[in-house]
A and B are shown apart, each in its own frame.
Chain A
């Protein structure tokens, strides 16, 4: 790095050797006056004024002495201004506001071109000469168009950022960082950007996101660039919830697919944290995400927890259309499955007397209609010991997972499949859990539970013109039980999970014993229809 006095001498020599143009207005004394002139008249005028004052005459003559004095004065005032950046004022200032002694970014035009060219020359010299960061920072002070330096500092490391922050004072450095582009932002954490002064409010992690937004707005960063910025900082923003990042991006005007993609690499990604943001958008916006194969593949690759990816699918209401042609003019449900929000409408409309008082039970956001790849992924999570290429259900509820989500294969089932599966979500899983443990059958389901589910499904489907054929034998026995105990008792047992109510009412009505009930239940769960029929009829 050159010594200060050498720089002063060089500048005085350069000033003396400047050509002698026509007289121009006399500049005000000091750096502040020079900057005010620059704001009013532009950089070219300032340069001409300096050159005018520095008309070369003979060596040692009064012109030379005056030129030396003016040059000294200008250099001193510029250095004084650059060494005192006045951080508090800079935090509040806008790009157009110039505190005394500060050099502004130059508006587009010939003056700007001149300074761009100067900046590039400066940067070029730094790179060619291999000057260190300190030299570069000194020369950076002479540059007024910071945007011209974009892309020049991509190799900066964290400690370089810290040194630059100390050099310029934190608030101005943030402005420089944004002007230099988000390649640098991607290398800095909120802590690195503003943690140097404990009293600085920018050091607070939550505040750092708000400050990023504020700075981005002041520098008119585009929504796309802001999303890119968030994507770059997300891997380090562990202290900020993922949902907060998405919210900030939404409020900044970033489109849903872009802000979803921006947070995928978040260091502490939380599916529950983003859920409110996903629920907030429209279904067409959610469709844009799950229909984007590139984006979904990226999500699957970046989300460390496989449960997060599988939880994401129903959250997005994935509704993959079936393979093959479509039937022109087909009614909803006739050429593809019924959507989850329609399932809720149909069930609550036609079974309001049974489900109307059930709080929090719904199908919307719980059903995914998927193709082979996601189907197999979900299937293996639920039944790790079964082979999805051999066991091919149309749909299932992943009952052993905390969220009990519904998976429907896009190419299987019929128009009432989604209603049957949705019915499982309205019911308690108590009957299923008790029966399949007490009377394990061939499959990891309960025939009694499926029979009851199909029974209540068929209270809805005929009203929609849908013909169901699933579970004929379980349905037959469920219907027989309901014939004894009443539909109201069966509904209470089914939706509230009160198996004891069902069994005790059956025993009371029939006079049968618990042993006879269990004999029947065992045959039912083992799909031994002939024995089940015999025991039902005779008790033995």
Chain B
């Protein structure tokens, strides 16, 4: 994989999740699950301070290649206790998880998904 493209895409992911784009203050952490566990080549995580929202961003080798992994993780996570949602943007994939009883976290999840999906 082209290293320059890889770095550019990860920077684009950071821009999509930035405060200017998402309207949310997020802090960096590791991706959960790790990228290699789901066939991704790289990734990172973010968490919203004081609220039960965290998300992981993954970079795959090809455009749209994160679709199956996104569906799998969303199905595994979404339920009574947690609200999960995923989004694709090119070779990038986002999985966001919010505590279902945290209204602010659930609202922020929608905001995060929308920001990551990008303007069209």
Contact A334 B64 (CB under 8 A): yes
Asked if A411 lies at the interface with its beta carbon under 8 angstroms from chain B, I say yes
Contact A472 B64 (CB under 8 A): no
Partner of A393, one of B64, B111, B119: B119
Chain A 322-349, CB within 8 Å of chain B: the 1/0 string?
Answer: 1111110010001110000000000000
Given contacts A334-B67, A390-B15, contact A412 B114 (CB under 8 A): no
Asked if B16 lies at the interface with its beta carbon under 8 angstroms from chain A, I say yes
- Closest approach, in angstroms, between the C-beta of B94 and any C-beta of chain A? 9
Asked if B23 lies at the interface with its beta carbon under 8 angstroms from chain A, I say yes
Contact A472 B114 (CB under 8 A): yes
Asked if A226 lies at the interface with its beta carbon under 8 angstroms from chain B, I say no
Partner of B90, one of A322, A334, A443, A471: A322
Query: For chain B residues 45-87, which have a beta carbon within 8 Å of chain A?
Result: 60-65, 67, 71, 85-87
Contact B64 A415 (CB under 8 A): yes
Asked if A288 lies at the interface with its beta carbon under 8 angstroms from chain B, I say no
Contact A392 B64 (CB under 8 A): no
Contact A335 B120 (CB under 8 A): no
Asked if A72 lies at the interface with its beta carbon under 8 angstroms from chain B, I say no
- Closest approach, in angstroms, between the C-beta of B50 and any C-beta of chain A? 17
Complex CA gap A325/B88 in Å reads 16
> Smallest CB-CB separation from B104: which chain A residue?
A530
Contact B119 A394 (CB under 8 A): yes
B contact residues around A30 at 8 Å (CB): none
Asked if B19 lies at the interface with its beta carbon under 8 angstroms from chain A, I say no
Asked if A420 lies at the interface with its beta carbon under 8 angstroms from chain B, I say yes
> Smallest CB-CB separation from A423: which chain B residue?
B120
A contact residues around B119 at 8 Å (CB): 393-394, 396, 443, 445
- Closest approach, in angstroms, between the C-beta of A533 and any C-beta of chain B? 9
Given contacts A322-B62, A322-B63, A323-B2, contact A420 B120 (CB under 8 A): yes
Partner of A469, one of B61, B65, B85: B85
Contact B120 A470 (CB under 8 A): yes
Complex CA gap A392/B71 in Å reads 25
Contact A470 B117 (CB under 8 A): yes
Asked if B9 lies at the interface with its beta carbon under 8 angstroms from chain A, I say yes
Contact A394 B89 (CB under 8 A): yes
Complex CA gap A207/B6 in Å reads 58
Complex CA gap A288/B12 in Å reads 31
- Closest approach, in angstroms, between the C-beta of B69 and any C-beta of chain A? 13
- Closest approach, in angstroms, between the C-beta of A364 and any C-beta of chain B? 19
Partner of A421, one of B85, B89, B110, B120: B120
> Smallest CB-CB separation from A337: which chain B residue?
B63
Asked if A414 lies at the interface with its beta carbon under 8 angstroms from chain B, I say yes
Complex CA gap A417/B2 in Å reads 25
Contact B114 A324 (CB under 8 A): no
Contact A324 B91 (CB under 8 A): yes
Partner of B1, one of A324, A415, A420, A421: A324
A contact residues around B91 at 8 Å (CB): 322-324, 411
- Closest approach, in angstroms, between the C-beta of A480 and any C-beta of chain B? 14
Partner of A413, one of B67, B71, B90, B110: B90
Asked if B33 lies at the interface with its beta carbon under 8 angstroms from chain A, I say no
Complex CA gap A472/B113 in Å reads 8
Most chain A beta-carbon neighbours within 10 Å: one of B2, B64, B91: B64
Given contacts A393-B120, A470-B120, contact A323 B5 (CB under 8 A): yes
B contact residues around A467 at 8 Å (CB): 67, 71
- Closest approach, in angstroms, between the C-beta of A416 and any C-beta of chain B? 9
Given contacts A327-B62, A390-B15, contact A472 B89 (CB under 8 A): no
Contact B2 A330 (CB under 8 A): no
Partner-B contacts on A (CB < 8 A): 322-327, 330, 334-336, 390, 392-396, 409-415, 417, 420-421, 443, 445, 450, 467-473, 476, 527, 529-530
7 A-B pairs (CB sep. < 8 Å)? A322-B90, A324-B62, A327-B64, A392-B118, A413-B120, A414-B64, A529-B111
6 nearest interchain CB pairs?
Answer: A322-B63, A393-B119, A394-B118, A469-B87, A470-B117, A325-B62
Partner-A contacts on B (CB < 8 A): 1-2, 5, 9, 12, 15-16, 23, 60-65, 67, 71, 85-91, 107, 110-111, 113-114, 116-120
